[in-house]
Amino acid sequence: MNNDGLTWQDPEKLARHVGNTLRNIRNERGLNLQELADKTSVSTLTLGKIERGEANPSLTIIWKIANGLSIPLSALLVEKQEVQISRNNEGSKVISANESLTLEPMFTSSGYGSLETHRAFLKPNSEYRADAHQPGVTEFVTVMEGKVQVKVEAEVFELCQYDSIKFRADKEHSYMNMESTEAVLHFVMIYTGRAD
């Protein structure tokens, strides 16, 4: 397992799933690897390895790809099924480069825009900085355990257990856990593809 990438009960199966999904999306859009690299700011070498299931991409790389393609993160990670159950510590996990945040994609759906949900675990005394997402993404975050500060651009909001925040995620934002215990967060992201 790569500490800066995805983990799953079967990491090789997940890597193949992400690679196949990315290749299918790229082909559906008629993009070659260089065009995909230009859209995502991820090298063609890395994209090629991901498509072949040879790479274990970090959260930053997965976000760059999702943002470049204007798709939800979970569109690359979650297998589509009629009835889904998301159990704690089962399925895929994405770990931030500084290892402060572990994200567990739960569900995704499409229709008017797209929606995805995640569980996240923020280590004690740590910070996770998220790049601005694609235009039209609204993020809803609820603190399930602990206390977290959420910074949206220059403004900081303190959230306690069961407090929630909603903001446009196409701005730089970060999550800070200044406590000595892990914080558990629940994310809902809505992708409308619109910047209003």
Of 30, 50, 77, which residue constitutes the final position of a domain? 77
* Whether residue 73 is found in the same domain as residue 105: no
Residue 51 lies in a domain: yes
167 DSSP β-pair partners = 139
Residues in the chain, total: 196
In terms of residue numbers, what domain contains 180? 96-191
Contact at 8 Å (CB) between 129 and 183?
no
* Whether residue 109 is found in the same domain as residue 178: yes
- Quick: pLDDT tens for 14-73: 778 888 889 989 998 899 999 999 999 999 999 999 999 888 777 788 888 988 888 877
184 DSSP β-pair partners = 121, 145
* Whether residue 177 is found in the same domain as residue 113: yes
Q: Which sign does the torsion angle of CA 35, 39, 45, 51 carry?
A: negative
Contact at 8 Å (CB) between 148 and 175?
yes
* Whether residue 164 is found in the same domain as residue 105: yes
Pick from 124, 79, 74, 116: nearest CA to 99:
124
CATH of the domain at 28: 1.10.260.40
Residue 66 lies in a domain: yes
* Whether residue 104 is found in the same domain as residue 176: yes
Counting the structural domains of the chain, the total is: 2
- Quick: pLDDT tens for 145-175: 999 999 999 999 999 999 999 999 999 999 9
* Whether residue 131 is found in the same domain as residue 101: yes
**Whether this model's pTM surpasses 0.75:** no
